Structure 1
């Protein structure tokens, strides 16, 4: 028995020594790995800082050269054709820097309070270009889905109002739609802020427009939906707003179909970045603009009309709640802002086309 016990003790000691040796080797390997990783991170940090300085310096040089080319072209020191060619080459260089992996070394835009309110103080700037492009593709997919819902949701409400609800909207379906609008515009504004931080060229007005739309949707949730008597008169603003939403859905579908193809062409020519996005009036060839612009202007006019109608119903005492006045003012402001932004973009496109025609005419004369 003592022999067996001694043999068992020796086997136990051997197993303990073997296990302790394996654990010691694992601990040593962890320390070596940590030291190697720390050395690697320090070296990468130094390389990253050097790349950041080079990228910022090159970006500054490109901006300085573009300003110099423009000034010399205006002063007559450069031939217009040469100046235009140099401008295109500098723009292509700018797109290479801003659209490639080097873009992660450029200073990022300040993260606004809207993103911090929802996500906290985290950095949403993607360091890899493929991650940035996935964010953009998800944004485009979100717009595609919401365009269809913009058509389906209000259309269903209007049809049910005529067929099932005897010309009078119940409160719950309308408030459900308003809650969906709040979710929709919050999602759009959040995605657009993140895209802007990652180098997209989204115009600030569209983000502000969605802020206004969010506030309007939130306020409309507290707006009591009046029923009988005089239901049709009291809900006239709701009916027109749903009709305007259908028009907006049609415009969004046209934008998503035509304008994205135009952006791909501009990216291939080096005149736009892969992170850029488009809205209805910001890109497109002449045929597309002839189709989109009337729809956009009609939609903006109808939006203003709905806003004025809500203000009128409040002034004559049909529905005098503060929500009616507030939503009416917001709709008018958004319509004016959309109209001004559309006109500004069309004027810029007109000036650019006139410049291209003058350059082409000079080339033909030469």
Structure 2
């Protein structure tokens, strides 16, 4: 007797689900059309701003001081509008960069809601923290407990996988509005290459001469990254609460201007790590000149460590110099 009633209920639920799904498909189509309209409008606005900036640059060569001030104000407004467009595009689908296209193909990686963006960013930060701890204990195990080529290869493979994963995740975050800029973007690509070369370095006297130094450096690097994570995340939390930083800003391996308040104590640790990279480079150059050295990896690693030192050291010095100049300008204005 209850079978028809149950059947009717199932039928009603099915029809309701179909209707809900139909509305969902319509809204999805509307959303897609709106995304295309917004992207097209932003593209046109960007082109107009680009033409306007080009015209202003030409005018600046022949105008007087008053007009020059007006042109500078207009250029400042153009820059502000471009920043607004950048924030708008973070919520619109866009083409992947070359790297993401090579790795993932033409897949849309844009996260449309703030909740999804923040969740992905937090998961990225936790991934960095957990992997930093794992790599620290892995380096300690290889250095003090297991002097074995197999465990060294596992550790080096883990480094390659970690840095490759970071580059992909950072590219996705940048597609979603995270402002990761400058050397700290390239840093992980160089580190990936270095770890790959270490992975291919065959067992031999040259490898054993550098092994302990590299593992000790890896332990120190993980320790510094662990410190940076906690202090940078705390600093970012305060600045976001004050509205001074973007919600998608990330912790980085280096030193940035927003870290100045309360985090200058990290500078000695960072500079020590930078010069350790230089020491690694010098050591490897000496090994490359050794009569028994036949591996190409030695010279390539020396160059890579030198690139890392120059990039890290010069970028940190530049940021510190700019921050000191800004502080001096503030003091002069107050006086």
Alignment TM-score, normalising by the size of structure 1 = 0.71
CA contact (8 A) 1:263 1:272 kept: yes
Deviations 1:131-157 (A, max 9, x none): 111111111101111221232111222
User: Matches of 2:230 and 2:49 in 1, distance apart?
Assistant: 34
Aligned residue in 2 for 1:148: 133
Deviations 1:295-321 (A, max 9, x none): 111111111211221121121224331
Q: Is 1:288 aligned to 2:266, yes or no?
A: no
User: Matches of 2:176 and 2:327 in 1, distance apart?
Assistant: 30
Q: Is 1:200 aligned to 2:178, yes or no?
A: yes
Larger-Rg structure: 1
CA contact (8 A) 2:135 2:155 kept: no
Aligned residue in 1 for 2:251: 278
**CA separation of 1:73/1:140 partners in 2, compared to 1, >3 Å: closer, same or farther?**
farther
Q: Is 1:303 aligned to 2:277, yes or no?
A: yes
Query: How much is the aligned-residue C-alpha RMSD, in angstroms?
Result: 4.0
CA contact (8 A) 1:262 1:284 kept: yes
**CA separation of 1:305/1:103 partners in 2, compared to 1, >3 Å: closer, same or farther?**
same
User: Matches of 1:301 and 1:74 in 2, distance apart?
Assistant: 49
Aligned residue in 1 for 2:293: 319
Residue 338 of structure 1: how far off its partner (Å): 1.0
User: Matches of 1:264 and 1:60 in 2, distance apart?
Assistant: 36
Helix, strand or coil: the match of 2:200? coil
Q: Is 1:220 aligned to 2:198, yes or no?
A: yes
Alignment of 1:1-366 (within 5 A): 39-48=26-35, 104-105=90-91, 108=94, 110-160=95-145, 169-226=147-204, 235-279=208-252, 280-282=254-256, 283-289=258-264, 291-361=265-335
The unaligned stretches of length 5 or more in structure 2 are 1-6
User: Matches of 2:109 and 2:32 in 1, distance apart?
Assistant: 20
CA contact (8 A) 1:52 1:105 kept: no
CA contact (8 A) 1:95 1:270 kept: no
CA contact (8 A) 2:96 2:175 kept: yes
User: Matches of 2:122 and 2:161 in 1, distance apart?
Assistant: 19
The unaligned stretches of length 5 or more in structure 1 are 1-18, 78-82, 162-168, 362-366
Aligned residues: 314
User: Matches of 1:129 and 1:340 in 2, distance apart?
Assistant: 35
Residue 194 of structure 1: how far off its partner (Å): 1.0
Alignment TM-score, normalising by the size of structure 2 = 0.77
Identify the range of structure 1 (255-264 vs 150-159) with the bigger mean alpha-carbon deviation. 150-159
Residue 272 of structure 1: how far off its partner (Å): 1.5
